[in-house]
Each structure stands twice: as C-alpha cells, then as structure tokens.
Structure 1
Amino acid sequence: MSASRPRTLADLQRWRRTRARRSWYKRSFRLQVMLLVGLLLAGMLLAQGAYLNHRKAEIISQQMGERALAVAKTVASMPQIINAFATPDPSSIIQPLAERVRNETGARYVVVGNAQSIRYSHPLPERLGQRMVGGDNDQALIHGQSYVSEATGSLGTAIRGKAPVWDDEGNIIGIVSVGFMMDRVAMDVARYNSLGWALVALMICLGFAGAYWLSQHLKKVILGLEPYEIARLAMEKEAILQSIHEGILAVNREGHITLVNEQARRFLNLTDDHVLLGQPIHDVVPNSRLLEVLRRGEQEFDQEMWLGDHPVVVNRVPILHEGEIEGAVATFRSRREIVDLSHALTQASRDVDMLRAQAHEFSNKLYTISGLLQLERIEEALALIHQETERAQAQMSFLMRNVADAVLSGTLLGKLTRARELGVSLEIDEQSSLSCPLTPTGQEVMMSVVGNLLDNACHAALNGPSNEPKVRLFFTDLGEQLLIEVEDNGPGVPAQFAESIFQEGFSTKTGKHQGIGLALVAKLCRQHGGAVTQEESELGGACFIAVLDRSLCAQPDQQQFKNALNNSRHINTYNNLNNRND
C-alpha cells in the first residue's frame, strides 16, 4: 500500500473524515450560502412556530376553561336553579334548564349537583341521581370557590368550570360543573395551529429562495471565485507584497494606513511589532503627499523624496472605484540602488567602449601590417611594428613604474586608446604617480572620477577652436590627499555656468542622458572627504581639479614592496631585452 494511503482502521477513519472536510470545504460557494442561510432561517422559523403554536394552544385551553367557568357561574346564579333545590324533585326543573344551556353554549355537559355531589342534571338521563365523578368538588362545596380544573369524568377527560350554588341565606347548597371535552379542545388547537404551520412552511420556502438569490449576488460580487480561491489569492498577494523589493504604503479615503509591507517597514526603521494599520498617514510619513493625491486624484510618477534617512523615488496613484476615490497607494524604491545600478551600467559601457576602441585600433594596425607584407615592404612593416611596440612599451613602462594599482593602470590604458581613436592627444604628466595600491572602494571611485573627467575633457577638446585637440592628466598621492587634475584646450566653461555644471541633470551638451558625469564626480568627492573645482586651463580650455581622501589607498606592506620591486626588475629586464633587439 502506498505511503499516502491509510494503513490501519484509525488511519482510514481519519482519512475519510479529512476527505469529507475537504469535499465540503471545496463545495460550491453558492450551495454553501444557500444551505447555511436557508437552514438557519428554517431553524429559527421552526423554533418560533413551535413556541407560538404552543402558546396558542395554551391560550385556547385557557379560553375554554374561562368560558366553562363563566357558564358555570351563570347557571349557579339562575333563580330557577336555586329555587329548584327546595322542591321535592329538583331534577325535573334543573335538567331541562341545564340541557338548554348546554345546547346554547356548545358545552359537552352541564351537570348540577347538590351538596353531596348527587347529580340533578346530566346529558345522559340514566345517570341522574348518581354521584359526580372526578373528585374535584371540595374546593367549591367546602371553600365556596369558583375555579377551572382538568379531570376525567364519566364522559372522559375535560376542561371543567365549577361554581358553588348559594341560597338566599349564603349557604352552599350545590355545585354546577360545565365541561368541554379535551378532544374538542385539541381539534380547535389543531385547526388554529394548521394555519400557523402553513405560514412557517411558506416563510421557509421564501427563506431558501432569498438564500439562493443572496448566494447568486455574493458570487457575482466576489467575481465568481470560491472562498478557498479567495483565501489562496489573499495569501499569494501577501507573499508578493512582502517579498518585492519596493516599499508599499496604502491609505483609505480618510488617510488612514491600510497596507504596509516589510520593505516599507525597513525604510521607516520600524520594528515588526509596530502597529501602523489604522494610523493617520501624516503622523507616520508627514511628507508622503498621499493626502494631496486623495484630494486631487492625480497620479505622480518618479518623484524624489526622503523616507526616514533613505532617498527614494516614489510613485503615487489614487484608487478609483466607479469614479470615486477610495484611497491611494505609494510605491517607493531606494534611489541609492538606482544610482549604484547606473554606475555599474556606466562602468560596463565604459569597459565595452575601451575594448571596442582597442579592437578597432589594433585591427587597423594589423590591416596596415598585412598590406605592407603583401606588398613585400618588409622593412616598413617592421618599422611600424617597432614604432607601436615602443609606444606601447613606453606607456606600459610609465604606468608600471608610476602607478601601483593595476585597475587604475588598465583604466588609463583604455582611455589612451580611446583618445587616439577619437583623434585627441591625451598626455599623462611625467610627474604623475600613485605609490600605493587602492582599496576596492578606492578603485571604483578613481575609475569613476578619472573616467568621467577624461571623457568630458576629450569631448570638450574635440569641440574646441584648436585643430589639435589636446587633454592633459596629472595625479598624485603625495601628501594626505589624492589629487587629480584634468585640463583640455576646448572652449572652456562659461562663467554663468561655473556653479551649475556640478548639478545633476545640467549639461552644456545636447541630447538625452546628459548632466550625470560631473554631478557624479562631485558627489563622490564629497562622500570621500574631498571636493572638485573648476578653473581656466593653461591649454586654453577648462581645468578640473578633484581632491579625494588618502584613505582610499591601501596601507603598503612587505608583499606590496616585493611586488613593486619585482615590477621594477621586470621593467628593466624588458627594456634591456628590447634595447638588445634593437
């Protein structure tokens, strides 16, 4: 037997109960609503009907008793009946009167007896002169009370009204007993109750019809979904809201918070047990602007704001239902992450450009060498090879001798290649040096600062008045700070733009996605204990001076000293070999 199947009788019973619960749980929502509401109404109506019919039966029985008692009192007070007790044959006078009253009132019997309970009247004449049956005459004959009782007499069980007969001197001389049979009372009760039960049955039918209509309406309102499907969607929605990387805040039309996910809690620096639901949004996030969205009903996209100590980009949209604003939702994401992503994409694009430039340059050189060889101009081909080798050796030798960080050296080589491709003369000052390697953070910062400054300088030089665009780079780590100086012979920066060029989005260039480089350089310098300034260049264009804290450099150790020594030996050996070959 499979592991999922029951193994014992107890397991089988539990399995069946579980299957039954699941089948009921997944039963049609309309059927569940109709059955539950219909059965509830039926139970209430049946209980109410039973109580009312029982009460009605009691009232009918009570009315029958009161009617019998009234007839008994009336007969007991009749002068003919009272006077007949003094005659030698009371039955001859009382019997016709009692029968006439019985026929007129519809009573089953009207019995008149003397003080010893001997009958003077009875529906059956043969029972005249016999003793009355029931044993409940003492209360009237001894105590003189009029009352209603239920007892079994000679004609059967009946509701009886009993009243004493008084003479003129106030003595009890007899008793009158008027009875209505219980079977007749039951028939009257059944006749009256049948209408009540018919109404109850009609109301139950109407209740089930209303329950069916209610189930149809609810099914339409919940878009035809079953309860377990709604529960699953709710759980899925909650899981999605808590797992997405964007913070979400939702408010109702009164401006009270109705939804906040985990990312929003982290942005707001709130603990997990902090209760936010139901609180006014202006008390939790005063600058959310959701109240303005509720008031105006306008959407706002990609708006910048501070949420706690996080710079975020916010989207705000109203919640509309049938043209009415029911609430508003704000989604926000960290601007730092967007900036970091932008930096990473910029760096990747820069690396691709450098590789493309190198591939293009060396492709041209290889084509030239191939053409010279095909023309059997071997001397010229070797001269070109030696020329390129000497230039590359000079650049590599300078970088290996003066730049202790390999990542920065690679960046500078790429920029040199890119400048040659653009037709810009990029010079690195011979006094430039970086004696210590950079930390991982320092490498990222230096690549961004140097790369952006050189790109802007090359663009400015190409658009300058000179036919020989020129850019000069100087950097050093002497002292307590890192110094980078980039100048060009371009048109320079107009005086009215001297302060604006470091603002994000401002640019003197045309086209999209401009105004980012210098703003990023200024931001990095501020974050790392420095600044960036602009002045007039000796070359005639602009000169940008960036200062960074020296903490971006790693502390030199023995291994770094050995690596630097080996690099120096390698350079000397390499140069000696080249000189020997020449």
Structure 2
Amino acid sequence: MSSPRRESIAELQRMRRGRPRRGWLMRSFRLQVMLLVGALLAGMLLAQGAYLNHRKGEIISDQIGQRALAVALSVASIPELIAAFDDPEPSVTIQPIAERIRRETGARYVVVGNTEGLRYSHPLPERLGKPMVGGDNDRALLHGESYVSEATGSLGEAMRGKTPVLDAEGNIIGIVSVGFMLDRVAMDVIEHTSLGWWLVALMIVLGFAGAYGLSRHLKRVILGLEPYEIARLAMEKEAILQSIHEGILAVNREGQITLVNQQARRFLGLPPVHAVVGQPVQDIVPNSRLLEVMERGEHQFDQDMWLGDHPVVVNRVPIHHAGEIEGAVATFRSRREIVELSNALNAASRDVDMLRAQAHEFSNKLYTISGMLQLGRIEDAIALIHQESAHQQAQMTFLMKHVGDPVVSGTLLGKLTRARELGVLLEIDEQSSLVEPLTVTGQEVLMTVIGNLLDNACHAALQGDRHNDEGPRVRLFFTDLGEQLLIEVEDNGPGVPHQHVEAIFQEGFSTKPGKHHGIGLALVSRLCRENGGAITLEESELGGACFIAVLDRSLCRPPSTGEDRPLQPGTIGR
C-alpha cells in the first residue's frame, strides 16, 4: 500500500475515533450486518428444518402404520389361525401364534377377534374373551376393508393396522388388529429427526460465524466507517465537486460519462446532469481526449485547449484499479482568468521594465555627464543634456499629439525604452494617430495587441541575418481613421517560413526555441476575432514579417459623455 493511501486511511480512522457517539445499534455497522445476516440465515434454516423434519415425521408415522397393516395382513392369512375359528376354544391356538408374531415384529399388541369383536388373543391373557376397545372395527367387519387407524384401546393411544379374517369361501369370520403405541411412534420420530435438528443448529452457528466474518470484511473494506459517516462523506464529496472552481468530467471504461459537476456543465454548455450521465463522451464533448488517455494510460497535465470559444487548461489522468484502467477523469479551469492575471502582471512587468530601462539609460548618461564635468568639458556636457532632453521631449510631444489614450501612450513609451535597451531601433510612423480615447476593454485589447506584436517584432529583428550595416529595426503604424482601428508592425528579421504561415496563429505553435511560447500571436488573433477584426501576415518592406491587426472602432469611447473628453497634453507627464 502506498504511503498517501496509508495516510488517508489513518486520517479516516482518526476521524472515526473522534466522531460523536450514537446508539449501540446505530453505531456498530458490524453488529448490524452480523445480526441481520445471522437472523436471516437462522430463519431460513429453521423454516426449512421444521418443514423437512415435519415431512420426515409424517413419513415415519406412515411407515409404522403400513408396517402394522402388513403384520395384520400376514396374521390374517395364516391357515392355522383361520382354521382355529372353528375350534371350540379358538384362543388356545390363536393366542400363541399372535404372541409369537408380536414379539418378532416389535408390535405392542396383536389382537385377533371374532365378528362380534371378542378377543381370541391379547398381550394380557386376562383380557381374552372380552370385547375389543376403540370402536374402529366396522370398516373391517362390515365392509371387508384393510386400513390404518389411530384410536385409544385398552393399552392406550395406538396406531393400528386392521384387516378382516376370511374363510375359504371369502366370508368375514373375524378381525386382526396390530398396534404400535403413539408415544413409541413419537419417540421413533424424535430419534430419526434429532440429527436433522442438530444439523440445523450447527448450520445456524456456522451462519452467525460467517455473518461475523462478512461484517468484519465489509468493515475493513469501508475503512472502518459507519453507514451514516459514508453518507455524510458522499454528501460532502458531492458538495465539494459542485462548488469547486474547476470543471470535472469523468468517464468509465466504456467511455460513458459518470460524473460532471456544475462548473463543467457551465463551461461546456451541457444540459442537466441526468441527461448527460451515461452518454458517450464523444457525443457530448468530442475533443475531450479522455478515450485517448484511457487507450495510452498516460497522464496529461496543464494542456491548453478550447471548449467552444472558451480557452481552458486541462489535466487528464486515467483511473487505475487492480492494475486495470477503469476510466479517466479530466479537470479544467478557465484560461481567461489566467490570461487576465497574466495581462495584469505583464502590465506591471512592462512598467518595471520601462523604469529599469530608463534608470539604466539615464544612469549611463549621468556617468557620461559626470565624466565630462570632471574633464572640464562643460559645454559638451550641456550639449549632451540638451540633446537628450530634446529626444525625450520629441517622443513625449509625438505621443501627446498623436495618441489620445494614456494607457496606450504609456505602453508605447515603455516599448520605446525597452527597444532602445535591447539595441533595436523602434520607429513610429509619423502618420500614426489614435486621437480617440478608448474604453476600458479597448485599453486592455490594444495594450495586449500592440505589446505582443512589438515584443515578437523586436525578438525577430534581433534574430535577423543581415549582411549590411543596418541594425535591428522595427516599424509601428497605427490609426483610428475610418471605420476600424488599424495596427501594423513590421521588422527586418528573418520573416516567417512559408510552411509556418498557416500555423503561426495557432495556440502552442512557436518558432522560438524552448517552452512557454506560442501564446502571444494566438491571443492577439483571438482578441481580433472577438472584437470584429482579424490579423494577417504579409512580407515587410524592411525584409522581415509584417503583421496587420484590424479591430472594430467600438473599442473607442463615444464622444458624448463628459469623461470622454480628449486627453489634455499634460496628462502623460503627471
């Protein structure tokens, strides 16, 4: 057993020891199972044993009756006994014959009587010549039947076989009654059925022992938890699954959906759970790739994919049980939140980079001015100061004049400083203009689009293989004249190979080495599509790539509200 599993079991057992006490019957699942299974087995065995032993007792009683009748028929067919009925004293001949047969057969009595019911034989000689007792002789004496009956005679209750005695002409001349006492019959029944009852008792004991073992096994399987604890854990698990911020989708080995939480339904736009569970995942979420995970048995972590128009980050893992893959589960979270956080971090990072670049640049300038002053070249130092001030003022003046949004101005100023630090000549076309202020969404979109395109262009310009003295160069043009916003960024880098033109805007694809690339252009392409535009790739006049992004003009603020007044020139410097 793995260490995490041992820790989880230990945690469940600690929770079980610390749970509140309940009634003994509610508390002990093992006792409940043992009593329920044991009582069920005992009831079944007792019912079956009672029925079988009852039938066995009936069979034994019937056999004893048939035995008594068979003895009576044998006695009634003895020629000497039949001939003795004509003797003056029939009992002299009949009594010895009857007693000999009684002793040999184990019967309680063998009584022979005439048609009037007077005894010719009896176990007690003093009762010879007296009437037979019981009142059950009519069927034999009057109708000539042979039968078994139960009646109370002079010796007590007995099971008796009775048959008529016939002469040579077939006339009824007497009756034979062979009896076995009912208490003896009951003792025989008990003797023959006692083993069955002992077996029933043994099986009940074994049943309770098996129920005890089953209850222990079940208790161990469910980690020592009680049913109400399992129910509570199930409800807690369901609440957790439905409340977490990540979407969860699980399938079984047949590829049928077994679990989908509320967040997953929201992401995927699925119908209610009862209409989804049990359906093939390929019919509901064709690009889930869970079947692929089950087929290969491999884990997939932090995979980017699109669910409709929603970017998500997906983790997919197979479910193993006893060495077999029983299913797979996918968890996914919205990438828009990650992108929003990334944009915020990128904005902060750009500000930091701009300040760091400015600090680095001005530190070098200050060292240069300090050296000139120490050398006594004051006029050269003043000229350098005026030159730098004029350059900065020219950039500020251009941005204040041609860019009416402070966020875009700040982005461009930071990119100019960053490009200068990288050794890239970043040019902004003099015909560029963005005089209308932007909405909050427009600021985020343009900041992302311009920032990513300039970053990629600077990187490409640095990778260029140039055979002349021209250094890395990037040119930017933007305008809000007309019905759309137009942004054009070109560089003098190596350009985009023809085989990559179709894939350059796909998420995860990048010509840069290493990981964590292939996001910027895909993000720019998606933002352009979502805002009524598009992005295209052309060959640059500078020799590299030229990206043209078009956005809808609705990103600009309408000029009717007071807060949409054009930006005053002093805003950037504050």
Q: Which TM-score band applies after superposition, normalised by the shorter structure? A: 0.7 to 0.9
Cα deviations across residues 355-413 of structure 1 (Å, max 9, x unaligned)?
44456567778999999999999999999999887776665555444433232233233
Mapping 1:181-330, distance limit 5 Å: 181-222=181-222, 226-301=226-301, 314-330=314-330
- Opposite residue 520 of structure 1, the aligned amino acid is L
2:166 is matched with which residue? 166
Q: Distance in 2 between matches of 1:90 and 1:49?
A: 50
Q: What pairs with 1:31-70 in structure 2 (closer than 5 Å)?
A: 31-70=31-70
Judge conservation of contact 1:245–1:263 (CA < 8 Å) in 2: yes
Match of 2:549 in 1: 546
More divergent stretch after superposition (261-270 vs 151-160): 261-270
Task: Letter of the 1:24 partner, please give it.
Answer: L
Segment of structure 1 superposing worse, 168-177 or 476-485 = 168-177
Q: Which moved more, 1:348-357 or 1:491-500?
A: 491-500
Q: Name 2:486's counterpart in structure 1.
A: 483
The answer (yes or no) to whether the contact 2:304–2:311 under 8 Å persists in 1 is yes
Answer yes or no: is the 8 Å Cα contact 1:502–1:522 preserved in 2: no
Provide the rounded CA distance (Å) in 2 between the counterparts of 1:59 and 1:87: 41
CA distance in 2, matches of 1:53, 1:83: 45
Counterpart residue type for residue 270 of structure 2: L
Alignment-derived partner of residue 80 in structure 1: 80
CA deviations 1:218-254 (Å, max 9, x no partner) are 4454455554454444444444443444444444444
Whole-Å separation in 2 of the counterparts to 1:227 and 1:199: 35
Stretch of structure 1 that moved more, 125-134 or 147-156: 125-134
Residue 362 and residue 225 in structure 1: after superposition, are their counterparts in 2 closer, same or farther (change >3 A)?
Answer: farther
Q: Distance in 2 between matches of 1:256 and 1:28?
A: 33
User: What is the one-letter code of the residue matched to 1:135?
Assistant: G
Determine whether 1:536 maps to 2:537.
no
AA partner of residue 24 (structure 2): S
Do structure 1's residue 27 and structure 2's residue 19 form an aligned pair? no
Cα 1:255/1:456, change in 2 over 3 Å: closer
Q: Which residue is equivalent to 1:9?
A: none
Structure 2: runs of 5+ lacking an equivalent: 1-19
Kept in 2: contact 1:434–1:475 (CA 8 A): yes
- Supply the AA of the counterpart residue of 1:36: L
Alpha-carbon distance in structure 2 between the residues aligned to 1:495 and 1:330 = 36
Report what 2:523 is aligned to: 520
CA, structure 1 residues 222+288, in 2 after alignment: closer, same or farther (shift >3 Å)? Answer: same
In structure 2, the CA distance between the partners of 1:436 and 1:369, relative to structure 1 (3 Å rule), is same
2:7 paired residue number: none
**Counterpart code for 1:513:** H
Deviates more, 1:46-55 or 1:332-341: 332-341
Per the TM alignment, residue 180 of structure 1 is displaced from its structure 2 partner at its CA by 0.9
Matches within 5 A, 1:356-367: 356-358=356-358
8 Å CA contact 2:110–2:122 kept in 1: the answer is yes
Task: Tell me the equivalent position of 1:137.
Answer: 137
Map 1:347-426 → 2, pairs under 5 A: 347-358=347-358, 396=396, 398-422=398-422, 426=426
In 1, Cα distance between equivalents of 2:309 and 2:289: 17
Distance 2:151 2:389 in 1: 137
- What is the SS of the residue equivalent to 2:566? helix
> 1:280-323: per-residue Cα shift (whole Å, max 9, x none)?
44444455454454444445555566656656555544433444
- Check conservation: 1:492, 1:536, Cα contact below 8 A: no
Q: Percent identity between the aligned chains? A: 73
Residue number in structure 2 paired with 1:128: 128
Q: CA deviation at 1:213?
A: 3.7
Per-residue displacement from partner, 1:204-228 (whole Å, max 9, x unpaired)?
2332333344344444544555544
- Alpha carbons 1:498, 1:534 under 8 Å: kept: no
What secondary structure does 1:412 align onto? helix
Whether contact under 8 Å (1:149, 1:160) holds in the other structure is yes
Structure 1 position 510, deviation (Å): 5.0
For 1:396-475, what aligned pairs fall within 5 Å after superposition?
396=396, 398-422=398-422, 426=426, 428-459=428-459, 471-475=474-478
SS in 2 for 1:564: coil
Counterparts of 2:490 and 2:67, CA distance in 1: 125
Q: Per the alignment, do residues 348 and 175 of structure 1 end up closer, same or farther by CA in structure 2, a change over 3 Å counting?
A: farther
Could you say what the CA RMSD is over the residues aligned between the two structures, in angstroms? 4.1
Deviation at 1:63, TM superposition (A): 1.2
- 1:302-349 deviation per Cα after TM superposition (whole angstroms, max 9, x unaligned): 556665665655554443344433334444455655555544443443
Which letter does structure 1 place at the counterpart of 2:404? A
Native 8 Å contact 2:474 2:489 kept in 1: yes
Deviates more, 1:38-47 or 1:215-224: 215-224
Task: State the one-letter code of the partner of 1:531.
Answer: I
Tell me, yes or no, if the aligned pair for 2:107 and 2:179 is still in contact at 8 Å.
yes
Provide TM-score, normalisation by structure 2: 0.80
Deviation at 1:110, TM superposition (A): 1.6
- Look up the SS of the partner of 1:270 in the other structure: coil
* Matched-pair contact (CA < 8 Å) for 1:403–1:434: yes
Q: Look up the match of 2:106.
A: 106
The aligned residue for residue 346 of structure 2 is 346
Unaligned stretches of 5+ in structure 1? 1-18, 575-582
> Partner of 2:320: helix, strand, or coil?
strand
Which residue number corresponds to residue 560 of structure 2? 557
Q: Which residue in the other structure is 1:4 paired with?
A: none
